[in-house]
Structure 1
Amino acid sequence: MGNELNFGGNLYRPDIRMLHDMDEVVYNQEWLRSQENIELYYMYRDLSRNESDHKKIVEHGLRYDITIIPPAMLGDEYVKTAGHYHPPVPGQDLSYAELYQVLEGEATYLLQKAEGDRVVDVIVCEAKAGDLALVPPGYGHITINTSGKRLKMANWVCRDFASLYDPIKKLFGGAYYLLTGGFEKNPDYGEVPDIRFIKPMDYPEAGLFCGNDMYEIVNDLNKLDFLVHPQDHMDIFGKITSP
């Protein structure tokens, strides 16, 4: 109790990610073994301001979530999400996309594209309140809070799949760890490309602009069809995936 989120006058209780839910992906394993199992971050799923909005969201195959990551350190590593990939769209050879917006604080989004057992692209996007970050098809992703402040972020995603955590767990985290001294390659990946840094950007083709509350697109959810049918909207991902 005490972690409820008030959204549109409705109270939502979170799924809580505990420290030892993250055992496989924390950089400093020696530090980890000495720690109690504390709460790390909070995930509030399937939010809506009212029943009318929720009906529209469900009808369009979407889900709106909020995640809150309080400031913390995992030894000398900044607090982060566990990280996951998305499964393929049925009948397609590409996976679902996801759209994030920072509501409070600052976020570092680490995206990595895998082809077979090899990571072929790593992107970092540093975002502040109001900024958008799009995860294209084929990319796993991890969110990191380096700011010393509470990070609150929202996401729109297709509601018809479950995230895939095992590919990142089996390699003991993402392709890079973000430590107090900067990014460090994860040796369990073998060769990985250098990080490409990109800035948050607008997506005018979907009516999405940094600084505008992306929940308001609930009034025109057809604009989020690229999250449900990414194969029909590949142009929106090109400015991220092209170096």
Structure 2
Amino acid sequence: MNIDPGFPITATTDPLGWRYGAGVFGPAPELRRLDAIRPSLRDPDCAGPDPVYAIVMDVGREEHRGDLQKRHLLFGAVAYAAGRLGGEPVRSQGHVHCKSPRNGWSTPELYEIWRGRACILMQESDGDDPGRCFAITAGPGEVVVVPPGWAHATISADPAQPLVFGAWCDRAYGFVYGGVRAHAGLAHFPLLTADGALEWTANPSYKPSKLVRRGARAYPELDIEEGIPIYKQYEREPGRFDWVPDPELKAGAWRNFEP
């Protein structure tokens, strides 16, 4: 099942990459090779797809480029290859967002799944005590919000198909890897069973923590509409996601936030 992204952009799988339709701006895809992520894997010598994923940051309709820059909003899209990395799922390395030079917040991120199944693994801190930990599984058309300051990684939950998703981010995005790398990953390791299901094992580098596993939810407190592509929601109401680069606009929502 594929979901309309809300503007003409298409992921390609052979070769892995992106294709833009008329009136769409965006960069050449950045391809993340298997050798580049081997240090973050439990088995650095494993076999797996190569490239592992293709990412394009700052894409959208040409007519929106100026407004997106003014709002400090950025739309990105990522395509993960099908398959597995040895006994692990295809995934990102894990990071925390840099603090914005504009407001001092480590900004949130709004994901929308377009194809495949995703698991967004997130935890309150990349320190020795990870705090609350969540594994949120989402399919096509569902959204997941990573709140400000949380460490997180995006995991393909179905090795039989590619994972394709888009996300609203702060234009001044940047990633802090130090805490995650110092602990050799997040507080829970995702592994794949022989039949392709996700299972979890605790990372002993952290203090013990419970992993809450569940599906995606609605976010009425963040004014996200269900069933409408998040790019189209921006198109209809450009200020709707101003809380992504300026999270203080929803400061109350972040207190005791449940992803």
- TM-score normalised by structure 2 residue count: 0.82
| CA distance 1:178–1:36, shift in 2 (3 Å) | closer
Distance in structure 2 (CA, Å) of the matches to 1:218 and 1:105: 24
Range with bigger deviation, 119-128 or 173-182:
173-182
Name the CA distance, whole Å, in 2 between partners of 1:202 and 1:233: 16
Match of 2:37 in 1: 22
Q: Gaps (5+ residues) in structure 1?
A: none
122-131 or 138-147, larger mean C-alpha shift = 138-147
Which of the numbers 72, 77, 91 marks the counterpart of 1:66? Answer: 77
Letter in 1 for 2:36: D
- Between the aligned partners of 1:143 and 1:62, the Cα distance in structure 2 is 20
- Give matches, 1:207-222, under 5 Å: 207-219=223-235, 220-222=237-239
Identity between Structure 1 and Structure 2 (%): 22
Q: Note the 1:90-239 alignment, pairs <5 A.
A: 90=101, 94-114=105-125, 116-147=127-158, 148-181=160-193, 182-189=199-206, 191-219=207-235, 220-238=237-255
Matched position secondary structure for 2:63: helix
Provide Cα deviations, 1:1-60, integer angstroms capped at 9, x if missing partner: 9544223434752111112221232122xxx236589310110110012x2111111111
**Do the aligned residues in 2 keep the contact of 1:7 with 1:48 (CA within 8 Å)?**
no
**1:166/1:209 CA distance change after superposition, 3 Å:** same
Is the contact between residue 16 and residue 51 of structure 2 (CA under 8 Å) also seen in structure 1?
no
Say how many residue pairs are matched: 237
Measured against aligned partners, the alpha-carbon deviations of 1:137-169 in whole angstroms (never above 9, x if no partner) come to 121111111212111000001111311123222
Q: Name whichever structure is richer in helix by fraction.
A: 1
Partner in structure 1 of residue 90 of structure 2: 79
RMSD: 2.4
**Structure 1 contact 132–209 (Cα < 8 Å) conserved:** no
CA contact (8 A) 1:57 1:218 kept: no
Counterpart of 1:5 in structure 2: which amino acid? Answer: W
Structure-1-length-normalised TM-score:
0.87
Q: Distance in 2 between matches of 1:56 and 1:66?
A: 19
